[in-house]
Chains A and B, each alone.
Chain A
Amino acid sequence: MVAAFVCGGCGVVWLAANHSQWLPLFFAVPGSLIVIALNLAGLGLSVLARRQFSRSEPLGVVWTLVALAAACHLAGGVLWQVEGQGWQRLRMVLAGPVQSLLLVAGLAVALRIYRRTGLQGRPQFADWLPMGVAAGFTAWEICDFLRGVPGAPVSFEQAVVLANIPLLSLLLIEAVLVRRFSLRMGGGLIAQCWGAFTAAILVTFAGEVTVWLFAHSPVPVPLNATSWYVWFLASAFYALAPAYQVEACRRASV
């Protein structure tokens, strides 16, 4: 569904290269609807995954945190449609640092579970590339901020972005490690669950980098629109991850 939407959207972008007024309409109506639907599916599936575990089980803690992060993600998608500076600031905080912090905590517990099983491996060469990019981007962003006009007031938006980028980088590093550990075990349903999480976080990070790139260099609108699609993919991957966990538990219980 998301692939069809992305392909259709690309077609619209291509057709509308000389009619850029179509683009906001395309993203404002069907785009918003599909993001909210995906975020809602992600929240529902995360709650279902949470219900497979008791309170005392470590993965139950992970899915509680992931479900809360999914609720923040959904709130962000809904608040995007609401006008008013206050609502937009709330959206930025919820779908930014709060969501990232919850996922960082959740993946930290997941990493600890892998370590307890004794099945964790070492990061491979391919893992260091996204982790290096994440660390480099964070360092660059912080330096860029510090190089700004001394004494200039920090805007609310700047503060939120500065809080979110390091969390997102940490989240990406955790996701790559969890993915490596699960890949080492093979390609079962649990591995696919963490693979979907890694893809979601990778796409979210790529979106942040693209936004930053386009903010620092003027890009024509049709080309700029290509960066808008990553958020659909991120929402789809966030919904897919708990679906694999629920399916694994369902197959075991049948």
Chain B
Amino acid sequence: MHLDAGTLAAYGDGELSEPAAGRAARHLKTCPRCAREAERIRGERELSLAADALFRLQCVPPADGLERVRGCIQEWLRSATGAGGAMPASSAAELRRRIGAQLELYFGSETAALLEKVAPSRRPPDNPIAAVEPLLTAFLGRKAASAAIRRILEEGEGRPSLAPDAA
């Protein structure tokens, strides 16, 4: 007995009741087919949310850029990872690579590794941007930090998508 797509999507969105979510979680631990399907649904949802977030970022006025970017990122990550879920590994790896490249340019090649080591308590899980944002803001200013974070999230020429299928 497998879970249908509607139940998996509702589970990913955190819309199932507590007993139903518990049953679904137990089933996903033992059923590789349903686990793969849940991952695929989450990836598709993340892709559409990322596109939506990027569309909003392009409308960010420079004056309050960072606050808006921060809001979009939080909304995107909250939606992308679902209730207690995690971002797909391929997307997380691509995001970390982009963050590492930006940190290396401004601070140096060791910064990303140092951030992972020294501030685990300050870093929200599954949100690597939240860990680097204070650093970028402190040393580059809000306006430049907002642009740097936007660059991390944006897809451009030669940049792979943050969505798992394209990464």
Q: Which residue numbers of A lie inside 8 Å of B, CB to CB?
A: 52-54, 57-60, 113, 116-119, 182-191, 248-249, 251-254
Expressed in whole angstroms, the Cα–Cα distance for A254 and B151 within the complex equals: 10
Contacts of A53 in B (CB 8 A): 141-142
Q: Give 9 closest A-B pairs by Cβ, nearest first.
A: A186-B108, A252-B144, A186-B109, A188-B108, A188-B107, A252-B148, A185-B108, A249-B144, A53-B141
Expressed in whole angstroms, the Cα–Cα distance for A184 and B109 within the complex equals: 9
Expressed in whole angstroms, the Cα–Cα distance for A191 and B118 within the complex equals: 19
Asked whether B119 lies within 8 Å of A118 as measured between CB atoms, the reply is: yes
Asked whether B108 lies within 8 Å of A117 as measured between CB atoms, the reply is: no
Contacts of B137 in A (CB 8 A): 57
Asked whether A52 lies within 8 Å of B134 as measured between CB atoms, the reply is: no
B166 contacts partner chain A, Cβ-Cβ < 8 Å: no
Expressed in whole angstroms, the Cα–Cα distance for A58 and B148 within the complex equals: 19
Determine how close the nearest CB of chain A comes to the CB of B64; give it in whole angstroms.
11
Could you list 5 examples of A-B contacts with CB < 8 Å?
A: A52-B140, A52-B141, A118-B122, A190-B106, A252-B136
B129 contacts partner chain A, Cβ-Cβ < 8 Å: no
Asked whether B138 lies within 8 Å of A188 as measured between CB atoms, the reply is: no
Contacts of A190 in B (CB 8 A): 106-107, 139
Contacts of A118 in B (CB 8 A): 118-119, 122
Assuming A118-B118, A253-B143, A253-B147, is B106 touching A189 (CB within 8 A)?
yes
Q: Which residue numbers of B lie inside 8 Å of A, CB to CB?
A: 103-111, 114-115, 118-119, 122, 134-145, 147-148, 151
Expressed in whole angstroms, the Cα–Cα distance for A191 and B103 within the complex equals: 11
Determine how close the nearest CB of chain B comes to the CB of A227; give it in whole angstroms.
34
Most buried by A among B108, B143, B147: B108
Expressed in whole angstroms, the Cα–Cα distance for A57 and B134 within the complex equals: 11
Determine how close the nearest CB of chain B comes to the CB of A37; give it in whole angstroms.
28
Assuming A117-B135, A189-B105, is B140 touching A249 (CB within 8 A)?
yes
Closest-by-CB residue of B relative to A56 is B142
Asked whether A119 lies within 8 Å of B118 as measured between CB atoms, the reply is: yes
Expressed in whole angstroms, the Cα–Cα distance for A186 and B141 within the complex equals: 20
Contacts of A116 in B (CB 8 A): 138
Closest-by-CB residue of B relative to A53 is B141
Expressed in whole angstroms, the Cα–Cα distance for A119 and B139 within the complex equals: 13
Most buried by A among B105, B107, B134, B147: B107
Closest-by-CB residue of A relative to B149 is A252
Assuming A188-B105, A252-B148, is B115 touching A119 (CB within 8 A)?
yes
Asked whether B107 lies within 8 Å of A191 as measured between CB atoms, the reply is: yes
- Contact residue among B109, B110, B115, B140 (Cβ-Cβ distance under 8 Å from A252): B140
Contacts of A254 in B (CB 8 A): 147
Expressed in whole angstroms, the Cα–Cα distance for A113 and B111 within the complex equals: 15
Contacts of A253 in B (CB 8 A): 143-144, 147
Expressed in whole angstroms, the Cα–Cα distance for A184 and B105 within the complex equals: 14
Asked whether B143 lies within 8 Å of A185 as measured between CB atoms, the reply is: no
Asked whether B110 lies within 8 Å of A184 as measured between CB atoms, the reply is: yes
Expressed in whole angstroms, the Cα–Cα distance for A53 and B144 within the complex equals: 9
Closest-by-CB residue of B relative to A63 is B141
Contacts of A52 in B (CB 8 A): 140-141, 143-144
Expressed in whole angstroms, the Cα–Cα distance for A183 and B105 within the complex equals: 13
Asked whether A117 lies within 8 Å of B138 as measured between CB atoms, the reply is: yes
Asked whether B114 lies within 8 Å of A251 as measured between CB atoms, the reply is: no
